[in-house]
Structure 1
Amino acid sequence: MSTIYIKDGKELLEIGFPEVRKYHGNIALMAVAVGFRSLQAAFKELYGEDAPQRKEISILSGHGGPGFRDAFEFVTRAVTRGAYTVDVNYPQAQYDPHRAQGYAYVISSTDGKSVEVSLRDGFLPLAFYDYLKKGREGTMTEQDTETFTEMKLSLCNRALELSQDELLTVKRIS
């Protein structure tokens, strides 16, 4: 299992996915995994082999869900520091046919460098969005809930197993 290295002052932290998963719980496992992988990709593009300082990272998320928020918060503390913004109308990776919700994230550093990381189209099946809609409407059956939970776990595992290029598109913005 891969890790993320980030500095908190003078301390170098090594954060693995299991720690982030424990912090979040089991509500949105796919999002936790994609968020974790998105940070790995962004840090690699922005910093190479160097570990960034937590306090230097800001995040714009196209998705307002708790899985992405928790992955970003656990690693960077961006939410706590007021360096986390959600814009569900961010134009990239708008795959959900039922509502505005982007699967793209802009990770920036205080030195003006930014990278956009987006989930590849087709990673999430249409049924995933349909279950999300049912959940918002309160029409999930017990079987739906069980099937959706299994789907999220499967997508989580898949997100962790795929290569970065198979899962994400990374584009330097500045």
Structure 2
Amino acid sequence: MQTIKIYDRNDLIEISFEDIYKYHGTLAYMAIGVGFRVIQAAFEALYGEDVPNRKDISILSGHGGPGFRDVFEFVTRAQSRDTYIVDTTYPKAQYDPYRPTSYAYIFTRETGEAVEVVLKENFLPPIFYELLKKGREDSFTPEEYLYNEQLKQNLGNRALQLPINELVEVTKLK
């Protein structure tokens, strides 16, 4: 089972995807799967084998949805600590043709070092954006709703199974 290790003050916490799933539920299953892997990639790039402390991490998220917010909050408490910023106009990974939303995330540690983690463009199929738009418009047919729920679950599971370098690109910024 994949886990993320993080300190909360002096307490070492090990968080699994299942823990985040219990917190968030299935509303944005794709996002919690991708978000979990985004954190893993960011922590590996920023900390290597070291375990970060929650108090030392800030996040800029290009995506304002509840799945990414919940996974980042659950692991880092960045929103509660007021070190979480959403900027949907961030200029990279603007894949959704219907609204400004970036699938890019910047994690900064206490030293000022930062990494940008970008979801690869081909991960989300065009139908995903079509269904997101229908969901926002509340215009799903019952069949489309079921298909959308299955698609989100499949994409979330795929994110958890893919090698990290096939899911995201990580770039050191500072």
Q: Which amino acid aligns with 1:4?
A: I
What per-residue deviation string (whole Å, max 9, x for no partner) do you get for residues 77-116 of structure 1? 0011101000000011110011110000000012101000
Equivalence for 1:66? 66
Q: Which amino acid aligns with 2:154?
A: S
Counterparts in 2 of 1:103-118, with a 5 A limit?
103-118=103-118
Q: What 5-or-longer segments of structure 1 have no aligned partner?
A: none
Task: Give 4+ residue runs of structure 1 displaced > 4 Å after superposition.
Answer: none
Q: Which amino acid aligns with 1:98?
A: Y
Counterparts in 2 of 1:1-174, with a 5 A limit?
1-174=1-174
What per-residue deviation string (whole Å, max 9, x for no partner) do you get for residues 135-160 of structure 1? 11111111111000000000011000
Q: What 5-or-longer segments of structure 2 have no aligned partner?
A: none
User: What SS does the aligned partner of 2:80 have?
Assistant: helix
2-structure distance, mates of 1:114, 1:33: 22
Percent identical pairs in the alignment equals 55
TM-score, normalising length: structure 2: 0.99
User: What SS does the aligned partner of 2:22 have?
Assistant: helix
User: Aligned Cα RMSD in Å?
Assistant: 0.6
TM-score, normalising length: structure 1: 0.99
What per-residue deviation string (whole Å, max 9, x for no partner) do you get for residues 33-58 of structure 1? 11110000000000000110100000
